[in-house]
A = this chain, B = another copy of it.
Amino acid sequence: MKKINVLKPVLVSNKQRAQENRQKFDRMNSLVINIIASPGAGKTSIIERIVQYFKRKVKILIIEGDIRGQVDSKRLAKLGVDVVQINTLTACHLDAFMTAQVLPKIKKKYDLILIENVGNLVCPAEFEIGEDYKLAILSTPEGDDKPMKYPLLFHLARIVIINKSDLLPFVDFSIDAAKKNIMRENSKAKIFEVSAKTSGGFDDFYLFMEKELNAKKKKGKTKG
């Protein structure tokens, strides 16, 4: 587990640097997912599920973004996958420059790179970091109205995972209303309902991910 404190250069635009990151990730033929959600929505728990399911099939790297500390990195490193920690210090999101500083440290080829962004439903959505796409998580205790109130992330995310379905009996959350609110921002979003706690509901999501990983692999072979 590597810890990187980040200084932010300002000469190149974030968008330009994100494109450069993306090209590097593409050369490594990695599927790169930028995972964005509120604090406590279940980003780390969902990453744990993905790792447990896929770690025997594909090589996985986790890039862990936190303002400070390494709580989640330590938790994820226990699963036996490689983890790189970025501490953003004061920044409320990862940006392409921070991510760029990780790239020289990547010595192996990874099929799947999961980037856990800082817990924040607003700012991380504004900064591309070189990802193939964004995965948003909405947890049921947050309420089904959140896509209306924090539209940008839901507008941009390819995948939206509704997490903590195990709490549905105890919170005021309608899956139908949530889906409607997500679809209003983004009619193409792939929506999955899961409980990272009980592991329920992940089958469809794993199937989708499997297809994505295979498509990326095929693309790599065509290139090669």
Contact = CB atoms under 8 A, between A and B. Distances in A.
A68 B122 CA distance: 12
A151 B67 contact: yes
Nearest to A91: B122
A196 to B, nearest CB: 11
- By DSSP majority rule, is chain A's interface helix, strand, loop, or mixed? loop
Contacts of A143: 39-40
Contact of A142 (B40, B122, B145): B40
B119 A66 contact: no
The 6 A-B residue pairs with the shortest CB-CB distance in the complex, in nearest-first order: A40-B142, A92-B122, A141-B141, A40-B143, A38-B38, A38-B39
Given A141-B164, A170-B167, A149 B38 contact: no
Contacts of A118: 122
Contacts of A122: 67, 92, 118-120, 123
Given A39-B121, A39-B142, A119-B150, 18 more contacts: A38-B39, A38-B119, A38-B121, A39-B150, A40-B142, A40-B146, A66-B149, A67-B151, A68-B149, A90-B152, A92-B92, A119-B121, A119-B122, A120-B121, A120-B122, A123-B123, A166-B170, A170-B170
A75 B223 CA distance: 55
A1 interface: no
A92 B123 contact: yes
A77 B43 CA distance: 35
A87 to B, nearest CB: 11
Interface in A172-215: 172, 197
Nearest to A125: B92
B149 A120 contact: no
A28 interface: no
Nearest to A145: B71
Contacts of A68: 149, 151
